[in-house]
Amino acid sequence: MIESHVKRAFKYRFYPTDAQAAELSRTFGCVRKVYNLALAARTQAWTRQERVNYNATSAMLTAWKKTEELAFLNEVSSVPLQQTLRHLQTAFTHFFAKRAKYPRFKSRKKSRKSAEYTTSGFRFRDSRLTLAKMTGPLDIVWSRPLPEGAQPSTVTVSQDAAGRWFVAMLCEDPAVQPLPAAAEAVGVDVGLHHLLTLSTGEKLANPRHERRDRARLAKAQRELSRKARGEGANRRKARRNVAKIHARITDRRRDHLHKLTTRLVRENQTIVIEDLTVRNMVKNRSLARAISDAAWAKFRGLLEYKAAWYGRQVIAVDRFFPSSKLCSACGTLQEKMPLNVRVWTCDCGTTHDRDTNAARNLLAAGLAVSACGAGVRPQRSTPGGQSAMKQETPRREP
């Protein structure tokens, strides 16, 4: 029997030389150009009711390189160019399966700057990574070690809006194994005043990372607005300062959510959450900023993939389930429950904290679903076609 391991990406920051930075910037530009050319070709074919697949766009790329106008594509490694065509094929696959919208063109200013290299496009020896057509290895800050004996299958180089350079290596990690089975189960109710309320009664505060840096962010944005529009150095510097503050907020939020989700997965066998449609909730102008700062969707994504890795179960209860209005003691359903009511008393005499009561009801509903598949409304389907109620299956490579 062939042993299989979870593949995970290990992301590190690195500091390129001027020559390496220039080469990577050219690569990013060529990747964006090829993606847009291929998307335009496939869109034109679509209007003619023709299908163009990856093999056809790969042949187009070969022809483009032979033209005088696009001869500069030969100056960078061909591997990232082929990979961006594969990414476009994946985008169309999701579109035809009705899992995503029609692919959009990449913008020079707004799109993520990245390039993906497969094994033929890099060399990794003795913790030294050298990319194709690159002078010397990358100066990587090894903030944590790779798994012993790991050999990356793909390497993705990127630069964020704050100007920081990152490299992500996809490796098999034998350390990711199912945890010993636990008897504990917990319901989790997300909120704004308290980020998480557990069915045990524990409440975890919302750090409000964006609010803590809001004054600095507002000042940097005012300075940016005063700069003359265009590509001037002063405007680029001001834009970079705004991006750095956003990056600081994002990093702290991600770190906090990683710690919370890791704790929940390690301590509980079953975790029950509410299936919220965050993209619709942020349309509320008065709450959009706070909801975005809480990052409920990010929390759920981290929770689900970690549960899949470590053999835990995540159950999402339908968002129309009246978790706040239902008495967790006697089951009585209240007619109304305004948002400003945080503590209420049921007719049976039980006094409830709104959020704790909701978490307990979520737990009960989730366990009912796990046991007999009843008790809540049907769930939306995930991209893989499985119900969100069901236990997530980890992705494993042979």
Please tell me the distance from the alpha carbon of residue 161 to that of residue 14, in angstroms, as a whole number: 15
Cβ neighbours of residue 281 closer than 8 Å, sequence gap 6 or more: 287, 291
CB count in 10 Å sphere of residue 282? 16
Q: Residue for token digits 């507002």?
A: 218
Counting Cα atoms < 13 Å in the Cβ hemisphere of 29 gives 12
**163 backbone φψ class: left, alpha, beta (φ>0; ψ -120 to 50):** left
Biggest CA pair distance of the chain: 82
Half-sphere exposure of 244 (CA within 13 A, CB side): 12
Using the structure block, give the residue that is written with the tokens 């022809």. 63
Spatial separation of the C-alpha atoms in residues 299 and 190, rounded to whole Å: 10
Question: What angle do the packed helices 18-47 and 78-96 form, to 10 degrees?
Answer: 40
Residues 6+ apart with CB under 8 A from 304: 314, 392
Q: Which residue has tokens 């803590």? A: 212
What residues are annotated to the active site? 189, 274, 355
The number of C-alpha atoms within 13 Å of 203 and in the hemisphere containing its C-beta is 13
Counted residue by residue, the chain has a size of: 398
Distance from C-alpha of 283 to C-alpha of 129, rounded to nearest angstrom: 44
Query: How far apart are the C-alpha atoms of 271 and 293, rounded to whole Å?
Result: 23
The number of beta carbons lying within 10 Å of the beta carbon of residue 385 is: 8
Phi then psi dihedrals of residue 194, to 5 deg: -110, 125
CB neighbours of residue 278 within 10 Å: 16
Helix and strand numbers (H, E) in the chain are 10, 15
